[in-house]
Amino acid sequence: MRITVYCSAKDSIPEEYLALGDELGRWIGEAGHSLVYGGATGGLMTRVSDAAKAAGAKVIGVIPTRIIQAGRRAKNCDTQHLVDTMAQRKQMMKDLADCFVCLPGSYGTLDEMMDVIASGTVNEHRKPIYILNYKGFYDHLINLTDHMRALAFLPQQEHYAPTYIDSLEQLYKMIH
């Protein structure tokens, strides 16, 4: 299975979050899956990809030229797709994925996550998306979604919606 992972590229985040990247990457490799990710260096991106590669996973990166020009091109990819824009990156990562996993992150992670959710709601794909709500990281997003549903901006029963999980162990049980 090709698992697309969206996550932080910041090195300055707490070590316990970086350790999540190590654990997820190791599991991806040990379980015989492939990793699809942003193809750049930094933070959780480096930790997930390095651990996946070390555990035997095929690592597929999708990187825009601007990030290469910034000197952040990862060197651990088995395959690295070069694209011109972030929009092309998002589309290719969606196309390559069998499922999506969102770890804690910032604007880029939220953008990628919402793009997958929005495209799923209009039936562009039926691929599952799992959001790791580690230590309540995404509680405010969950509350916002509940608020949107209460005001009828979202339907009571969505035909496509993310699955929130609290631990990587829950994720491992859901992905075969």
Q: pLDDT tens-digit profile of 3-37?
A: 999 999 999 999 999 999 999 999 999 999 999 99
| Domain edges within the chain | 2-174
Task: Give 116-144 pLDDT, tens digit per residue.
Answer: 999 999 999 999 999 999 999 999 999 99
**Residue 85: which pLDDT band, with cuts at 50, 70 and 90?**
very high
Q: List b or e across 3-35, with b for residues whose CB sees 16 or more CB atoms inside 10 angstroms.
A: bbbbbbbbeebeeebbebbbebbbbbbeeebbb
Predicted confidence (pLDDT) at residue 156 exceeds the cutoff of 90: no
Average pLDDT, the chain: 96
At 61, list the tokens: 């990166």
pLDDT band for position 157 (50/70/90)?
confident
The CATH T-level fold of domain 2-174 is Rossmann fold (3.40.50)
CA–CA dist 162, 158 (Å, integer): 10
pTM tops 0.85, yes or no: yes
